[in-house]
Amino acid sequence: MSLDQPLNSLGFAKAPADTRVVVAMSGGVDSSVVAAQLAEEGYDVVGVTLQLYDHGAALAKQGACCAGLDIHDARRVAQEMGFPHYVLDYENTFKEAVIDEFADSYLAGATPVPCIRCNERVKFKDLLETAKDLDADCMATGHYIQRKMGDHGAELHCATDANRDQSYFLFSTTLDQLDYLRFPLGHLPSKNETRALAEKYGLSVADKPDSQDICFVPNGNYAAVIEKLRPGAAEPGDIVDINGTVLGTHNGVIHYTVGQRRGLGIGGLADPLYVVKLDVDAKQVIVGPKDMLSTRTIPVREINWLGDDAFDASVERNIMVKVRSTRPPREAIVRPISATEATVELLTPEEGVSPGQACVFYSPDSPRILGGGWIWRG
């Protein structure tokens, strides 16, 4: 190999044919396009799909990542494009690393984000190690996020299309993982371009709809899943105001989330009330006026820092943070307590901030992701 060999599109100084890339294939259009594009460019592509769970009914359910029909769709794309494809049974790993924590944190009154834990503990950990075992030079996924090279190495940046950006769900990607990962779709201006590429490659999944729900929570019915995983979890209790006055009853704390207004069954009041806290031990749903949902100070732990300098307890940082995937980043001051813990002060209060959600850090003057952590306490 010549020393002046130009870098290929994945950043390696060798021909695509000499570059092995494992593509994490969910069976959806995004990862299928990534695999097809890299295969067409001449890379040594190996498709891998993780079977993460089986509802029984999942075999007939589309849009449920990593089960049933989606595994079949991933295999068919590999056959169409002529590269090998493997299905790995990660059902037990997924249950232990993602589903059990989801159930326990939900029962503890938190609002978990299992998609982040799946990326962190399964896809970018176990699957990434499998890719290395297969002697792959890198692993590619269909996530809408960008990996760019900076002065200090690989950096994580938001996707070009803000509507598709998945940075909130990938903040816990470590620098070591980022060295090995590639995100070929992050620069595309919209999902329309992805579907156009699927049409170009003649993929059978070109018109497949996007998945909407958490993969193991069909139709968004969290409570039904929790009851199945933790029998007896839906124990009845009282709906009380902030002074402890009983306003009504409920059939299980798991049916409520912080910020909820509808479906409380306590109508006839002068001012609308919202769920402001869940007390699992007392089996109470605590309600109050909307202004009680406003939060300015947020405790954050398990911080993954992606900045160039150390996350030092002596350095305050003016950055942007996002506390929900659907909300834009807001100005904030981060005050580190340790390398993995901090207090985040929002310059403008946010409503409905709940333990269990992620607080993701962004650069104030670029679309770079600086990491983030998990919101805890009440």
**Catalytic (active-site) positions:** 118, 215
Q: Look up residue 96 and give its DSSP letter.
A: I
Find the DSSP H helices in the chain.
29-40, 69-81, 91-94, 100-107, 114-118, 128-133, 175-180, 191-200, 222-229
Distance between CA atoms of residues 242 and 185, nearest Å: 48
Cα distance between residue 8 and residue 41, in whole Å: 10
Q: Which tokens is 107 given?
A: 């029962």
**Strand, helix or coil at 241?**
strand
**Rg value, the chain, Cα:** 22
> What is the bridge-based pairing of β-strands 181-182 and 237-241?
unpaired
Task: Say which DSSP state 307 is in.
Answer: S
CA distance 354 to 190: 31
Cβ atoms of 171 and 368 within 8 Å: the answer is: no
Rounded to the nearest 10 degrees, how much is the dihedral formed by the CA atoms of 289, 291, 292, 298? 160
Sign of CA dihedral 362, 367, 369, 373: positive
